Amino acid sequence: MAYLGNVPARSFISFERQVFTIVNSQTAYTLSHSVTNENDIRLVVNNVVQEPGSGKAYTASGTTLTLSAALVNGTDEMYCVFLGRAVGTVNAPAGSVDTAQLASEAVTDAKVASSIITGQTAETSIASDDLVLLSDTSASGALKKMTRANFVSGVGGTNTPAFYANRTSGNQSLSHDTATKIQFNVETFDTDGTYDHTTNYRWTPGVVGKYIIGVGWWAIGNDYGRTFNCYIYKNGSQHIAGISRLGSNTPRFWMTQVFPIDVTSTSDYFEAYAKLETNDSNAMEIHAGSFSNYFYGYKLLT
């Protein structure tokens, strides 16, 4: 047979079917769809097709189906097929649909079973080459894979570079009213080798970011100190300061300060300075010892 336009996809057309619940002694049943007459349906009783028409097995009009004889519940079965109502389709043959028949993004969340995730075996450990599936927002949400090793390397971070140094031997003199760089010359740790503990006594993090830097020292002497200042120098200039003025004079004083700093260039460097004023303008000393002085810094996770 010739067609104008597309050939109907007849192999996937199905006709609507209605199954009836048998009621003893009842000959009238209600159809789920209105019909013109009994020829619009095929009635099947106990798997036998019935003959339509007056004086035959059944008649139908509108939504009323009338049998010529009543059936018995529990013994008889009855259904009808609406011959003029093609409303459903049968399943396509297995393997007949591939990606070419699917529109892009046609499979929605509602069509994907949660068991795809929940039904998998729970892992208690992950190997470095195990894969993680992710959506790439820079590529319109395209799905991409990444190894666990690469994924972890881009998440979180570490508080490095970091260092901690002391002056453990030999007191360092502090002249009256003079800012003096403290020579912290022994490292407890230096994760990236960024603290110079032999020549310039400065920290050059080398990584842009937000940091915490701290310094502490104990000043001692025979004179009496009145004002103690603690400075952090950035690139050779005073950057931030902590100042303490004493209510009474003392020959010993402990100073400790913690500062936030912003490293904006890989060449930025930081140094710790101390300055004090005494009653008679005499010098005092930074007391050496691993517990009496320190200089440290570390990167913040942002």
Distance CA 17, CA 80 (A): 6
Domains of the chain, first to last: 13-82 (no CATH), 127-156 (no CATH), 162-299 (2.60.120.40)
As beta bridge partners, residue 67 has 58
- Each of the 302 residues of the chain gets a pLDDT tens digit; together they read 566 665 555 556 678 899 999 999 999 999 999 999 999 999 999 999 999 999 999 999 999 999 999 999 999 999 999 997 765 455 666 777 788 778 877 888 888 888 888 888 888 888 888 888 888 888 777 888 888 777 776 666 789 999 999 999 899 998 988 999 999 999 999 999 999 999 999 999 999 999 999 999 888 877 666 788 899 999 999 999 987 766 556 677 788 899 999 999 999 999 999 998 887 888 888 889 878 899 999 999 87
Pairing of strands 58-67, 142-147: unpaired
Q: From residue 24, how far is each of 28, 162, 284 by CA, in Å? A: 11, 90, 115
- DSSP code string of 219-288: EEEEEEEEEEEEEEEETTEEEEEEEEEEEEEEEEEEEEEEEEEEE-STT--EEEEEEEEETT---EEEPP
| Residue 251, amino acid | P
Query: What pTM was computed for the model?
Result: 0.53
Q: Which residues contact 288 (CB under 8 A, 6 or more apart)?
A: 167, 168, 169, 170, 171, 172
* Model pLDDT, residue 31: 95
Q: Report the candidate in 33, 38, 27 with the shortest Cα–Cα distance to residue 60.
A: 38
| Residue 272, amino acid | A
* Model pLDDT, residue 248: 59
**Burial of 174: CB neighbours in 10 Å, binned 0-12, 13-18, 19+:** buried
